[in-house]
Structure 1
Amino acid sequence: MTSDAKIDTHNINADVEKQFVAIRVNPKIYKMHTIMNTAEELFDKAEFVIDGDPESVVIVKFIPRKPMTESELLGVAYKFNTMLVMHTTKR
């Protein structure tokens, strides 16, 4: 991957000015308790709000405890997405 290559962030909205990152999650792929448990594991980095329609799309919004750059906000989102997959594949 080249240094100017962008990672597809179609399910992520990071706003540095307002200091939040929101991730759209498909509840047909990930169960609500899995989404909630995964968000809770990032509580040390950020407060979070879970909203949306459990039949179509769930929005998980993280508000950092200390100011973050866009890269750091995206890092929280990537970590959440990775942990979500890991929780789903645990048996």
Structure 2
Amino acid sequence: MQFRLLENKARPKWEISRWTYSPEKKRAIKETLGTFPCYYSMVSRDILDKCTTQEKAEVLEWWRVTSEAVNRERVRSQVTKLPVIFKDLETL
């Protein structure tokens, strides 16, 4: 499984894809399972429906770890901004 952040200034998206071997072409082929906006709270059902049981487990674990990291960063940035907010209030 491959997880890639597509940098789009308006709406960044996640792309989930997998590599499969094609005997006819005698090489690996990238199959994109789908994309979904970063602000979604969960991986798109359309993507999960295309996954095997093992791939679903991998995708859901990736999403859990990624969303935890995003939430940690969000909290960290809020905590570092709090002292500045209180300092700004002193000047009012």
Higher helix proportion (structure 1 or 2): 2
TM-score by length of 2: 0.34
- TM normalised by structure 1 equals 0.34
The higher radius of gyration belongs to 2
